[in-house]
Amino acid sequence: MNILVTGAAGFIGSHLVRLLVNKYPNYTIVSFDALTYAGNLANLADVKDAPNHRFVKGNICSEEEVKNALEAYQITDIIHLAAESHVDRSIEGPMEFVHTNVVGTVNLMNQARAYWKTNEGHTFYHVSTDEVFGSLGEEGFFTETTAYDPRSPYSASKAASDHFVSAYYHTYGFPIKRSNCSNNYGSHHHPEKLIPLMINNILTNKSLPVYGNGTNVRDWLWVEDHARAIDVIFHQGAIGCNYNIGGWNEWTNIDLVHELCSIMDEQLNRQAGESAQLITYVKDRAGHDMRYAIDATKLHEELGWKPSITFEEGLRKTVQWYLEHQDWVNDVTSGSYQAYYNTMYKDR
């Protein structure tokens, strides 16, 4: 197989590339990334010289760049993770999300259809999010048949891309697979996201901004478990299938922040409760979904996948990674991140 992984220098993409390169030495893994603010070649440093790995700088919205990559590396399969993914950014500027997440996805499928010429022997795997399902009440879970109800420009753009992927399967017989995952956490996560933001701000004694009253609930999935799930679905899932990937692991935002504060107090030899004094409640996000929770039963029963680590274990591993890789954090948090942080939280 010659697999093109889009968004490969990003958070989830880099973990997936690392798994595929190391697990399948007979495959050629082609990392395709536009290297926007969330894409970082340092995320791929440990596999960049692997004999079965190639990197191509390219934009999924460019017909020419996608076409050239497919032809140059005789791509047989695509795993598509490239996306604009931050809800706050989508509220500030939705058009970029429409362009990348919707137009980019359709362009990828069009170029793949033209290059492959036949649907046999190929897979286009589209990685999506649980946010397309909207907001849950206090009970219940998202399943593969839950109706879509996106509440933010980001989730609307991902929902639209999901619908296009499904439409190409039904209209053209295009060989798709799809998964919708819950919130990921782990190493190499851009510091604009909740967990690395809190770790970095605790370390530097900055305020810990919590939206509203902090009672919004999210289901957390260790990114390496997500990569394992994608691997299993890609190889064993049927064409046309879709699976939900979740951690069976619900936490309110405020409880998660307190857990991080406790771990960081231990790691930094601070007094218990010292880091929690940095918590600041800020104006709630517009259209903030109350609760997400994934039912991953189908994936477990049909393909045998389940999380390999508890959240507490994964969170400690994550904290340790950030503390040991401050050079990576400092590089990422300079420039665009700092300007963004100042804009989003300074006056709230």
Residues acting as catalytic residues: 130-131, 154
The residue to which tokens 């997936």 are assigned:
16
> 79: closest CA among 35, 134, 15, 143?
15
SS3 15: helix
Question: E strands within 261-328?
Answer: 279-282
Helix axes 253-267, 194-203, angle to 10 degrees: 40
Under DSSP, the state recorded for 247 is -
**Cβ atoms within 10 Å, residue 304:** 9
> 83: closest CA among 61, 63, 113, 64?
61
CA distance 93 to 87: 10
Beta bridge partners of 176: 124
Query: For the chain, what is the radius of gyration of the CA atoms?
Result: 20
Under DSSP, the state recorded for 148 is P
Q: 269 burial class (0-12, 13-18, 19+ CB within 10 angstroms)?
A: exposed
Beta bridge partners of 180: 128, 244
CA distance 201 to 148: 35
CA distance 40 to 43: 6
Cα angle 241, 154, 295 (rounded to 5 degrees) comes to: 40
Tell me how long the chain is.
Answer: 348
CA distance 105 to 307: 28
**Cβ atoms within 10 Å, residue 54:** 17
Query: For residue 344, how many C-alpha atoms fall within 13 Å in the half-sphere facing its CB?
Result: 25
